[in-house]
Homo-oligomer: A and B are copies of this chain.
Amino acid sequence: MTQRYKLQPAGRSRPHRDASRASRPPATPKQAAACCSPVDSLLDIELFKAFSDPTRVALLACIAKCGRACSVGEVAECCDVDLSVVSRHLALLTRSGVLEGRKDGRTVFYRVRYAEVSRALRALADALDDCQPTHSPSPRRQARSTPHG
């Protein structure tokens, strides 16, 4: 099945009650604060915090564009920062569910969890669209044009 809500680190998964974005929106922001909606869980602070540092994002972009799992040493050649800094950034990206690490001998290979991240981003986009009263109430689409799970 598809993971609908908040992005989790690799190897976990968590259910979450659906806030059933009812027929009409709350009248005031204060009322909105009380009623919970998919956007609450999809606005995943840890995920977006991972995307909010230039060095970290540069490292992520390098791995992403590479399209394969990369070692820490390889990734460190992208940026002019200490290897320990790279290690910490990759660890944080892993904790936030963006990367996945695999140890092979004495080297650690990090790969991007493309499907999970893009699914989380699209889910948030859908949830935001659903908040607009003028918007049609969201046909649940698959992740991409290709209908694989």
Q: Determine whether A62 belongs to the interface, using a CB cutoff of 8 Å to chain B.
A: yes
Q: Determine whether A85 belongs to the interface, using a CB cutoff of 8 Å to chain B.
A: no
Which B residues are CB-close (under 8 A) to A28?
Answer: 66, 70, 74, 77
Q: Determine whether A124 belongs to the interface, using a CB cutoff of 8 Å to chain B.
A: yes
Whether A129 contacts B118 in the complex (CB less than 8 A), given A30-B78, A37-B61, comes out as yes
For A115, give the chain B residue with the smallest CB separation: B129
Q: Determine whether A11 belongs to the interface, using a CB cutoff of 8 Å to chain B.
A: no
Whether A45 contacts B57 in the complex (CB less than 8 A), given A37-B65, A146-B136, comes out as yes
Cα distance A74–B48 when bound, in Å?
26
For A49, give the chain B residue with the smallest CB separation: B52
Is the Cβ of A62 less than 8 Å from the Cβ of B114?
no
Which B residues are CB-close (under 8 A) to A66?
Answer: 25-29, 31-32
Cα distance A144–B130 when bound, in Å?
11
A133 interface neighbour in B67, B132, B139, B144, Cβ under 8 Å: B67
